Amino acid sequence: MKPFKFSASINISLAISTLLVMFTTAATTVFPLLSLERSKYASGEVWRLLSSNFVHFGWPHTLMNLAAFLICAFALLQSLSTLRLIGLLLFCCLSVGVGVYYFNPEYETYAGLSGAIHGFFVAGLLLNKRHASWVNGIFIALIFAKIIYEHQTDYQATELQALLPVAVAYDAHLYGALAGLVFGIGALVFDRVCAAKLATA
């Protein structure tokens, strides 16, 4: 009987999850070095656009994002190739960092993976082959409906969100979801072009 093995994508996701926990455990040292602080990024610390996604404002923030990330990883991302998963992670995280820095000057400090997670869900649903495309489409529509609802003036943060020591950066959710949409559509087009070339070869 062969021993059970996780896919490479799941192993990468578990490694990232471990990193989130380690960074929160050492937050006093790590957070000031990796969070997206506008003044420090402007002075040349460009890695903060990416690294800010992996540090959080305390344990409640970390655990909420960790739970969502693991659900997405096991439900939608485990079928992705290692290269595609890494590409998705980098693209969504960088897109959120760039979006927050250039379009939200009111955020002096940004941290958290929730924006990118919205992108992981959208791209994962677009590339999901286990369910009918219309089912995936409904879930994608629900994600964007949630984001639109979050941007309403009368929207109230949930009880879980109220545990955070800072206001939730809802615009980051939008940037991440749009990045996931772009990545997912791009991957689908790439796959179809490759399949067409193989068919005519």
Query: Which string of b and e fits 111-130 if b means at least 16 CB within 10 Å?
Result: bbbbbbbbbbbbbbbbbbee
Distance (Å, rounded) from C-alpha 96 to C-alpha 49?
8
pTM, rounded to two decimals = 0.94
Closest CA to 70 of 31, 12, 27, 123: 12
- Phi, psi angle pair for 114, to nearest 5°: -60, -35
What is the pLDDT, as a whole number, of residue 201? 67
Closest CA to 123 of 82, 179, 70: 179
Tokens standing for residue 2: 């062969």
Q: What is the pLDDT of residues 144-178, one digit of tens each?
A: 999 999 999 888 777 667 778 888 899 999 999 99
Q: Give DSSP secondary structure letters for 42-90.
A: HTT-TTHHHHGGG--SSHHHHHHHHHHHHHHIIIIITTS-HHHHHHHHH
Distance (Å, rounded) from C-alpha 105 to C-alpha 182?
24
Measuring CA to CA, how many Å separate 104 from each of 78, 99, 142, 158, 173?
33, 7, 25, 22, 13
Mean residue pLDDT of the chain comes to 93
Q: Are 187 and 91 in contact (CB under 8 A)?
A: no
Delimit the domains of the chain by residue range.
8-200
Q: Are 6 and 77 in contact (CB under 8 A)?
A: no
What is the pLDDT, as a whole number, of residue 198? 84
Q: What is the mean pLDDT of each successive set of 10 residues along the chain, which is 201 residues long?
A: 74 96 98 97 97 96 96 94 97 98 95 98 94 93 96 80 82 98 97 88 67
CA 7 vs. chain centroid, Å, equals: 20
Distance (Å, rounded) from C-alpha 95 to C-alpha 147?
16
The CATH number, out of the four listed (1.20.1540.10, 1.25.40.10, 1.10.10.10, 3.40.50.80), of the domain defined by the range 8-200:
1.20.1540.10
For the chain, the first-to-last Cα distance in angstroms comes to 40
Radius of gyration of the chain (CA): 18
What is the pLDDT, as a whole number, of residue 126? 97
| HSE-up (13 A, CA, CB side) for residue 155 | 16
